[in-house]
Amino acid sequence: DAKTTQPPSMDCAEGRAANLPCNHSTISGNEYVYWYRQIHSQGPQYIIHGLKNNETNEMASLIITEDRKSSTLILPHATLRDTAVYYCIVRVAGRSNFGNEKLTFGTGTRLTIIP
C-alpha cells in the first residue's frame, strides 16, 4: 500500500489560497490520489481525486507532480468554513474483480483559517 505523508497542521489567512501538500513516493501506476476533509463532529467529505492529470472542481484544485510522488490540494479562496482536517489518501483496491475500495485514512493536516 502506498503511504502518504502530510504536515500535521497549517494556517491560512481567510481569502487567501490554501495549499496543502502530500507526499506519496511509493504510489503505484494505477493508484489514484484522493482528498477528503473532516469538519469537526461531521463525517468525512469527499473533495477531489486524480490519477496523473491536474483536476479542478467547484471545491478545489488538485495538482499532481509529473512523477506522481507528491500532490497539492488548493483551496483557492479559503473561508472560515474550510477549517477542517484534510486527508490525502492513495486508493487501494481490494478484490479488483468486485471493485471493492478501501480508504486508508492517516492523521491528515489540520487546516485552520485565520480571520
User: Which residues sit at the interface with another protein, rule CB under 8 A?
Assistant: 30, 32, 34, 41-46, 49, 51, 87, 91, 93-96, 98-108
Cα–Cα distance between 45 and 38 in angstroms, integer?
A: 6
Q: Nearest distance from residue 45's CB to another protein, in Å?
A: 7
Residue 33 carries which side chain, given as an amino acid letter? Answer: V
Longest Cα separation, the chain: 48
Q: Nearest distance from residue 85's CB to another protein, in Å?
A: 9
Q: Nearest distance from residue 92's CB to another protein, in Å?
A: 10
User: 7 or 15, CB closer to another protein?
Assistant: 7
In sequence order, which ranges of the chain are alpha helices (DSSP H)?
none
User: 14 or 112, CB closer to another protein?
Assistant: 112
User: 17 or 26, CB closer to another protein?
Assistant: 26
- Residues 6 or more apart whose CB falls under 8 angstroms from that of 112 comprise 9, 10, 11, 12, 83
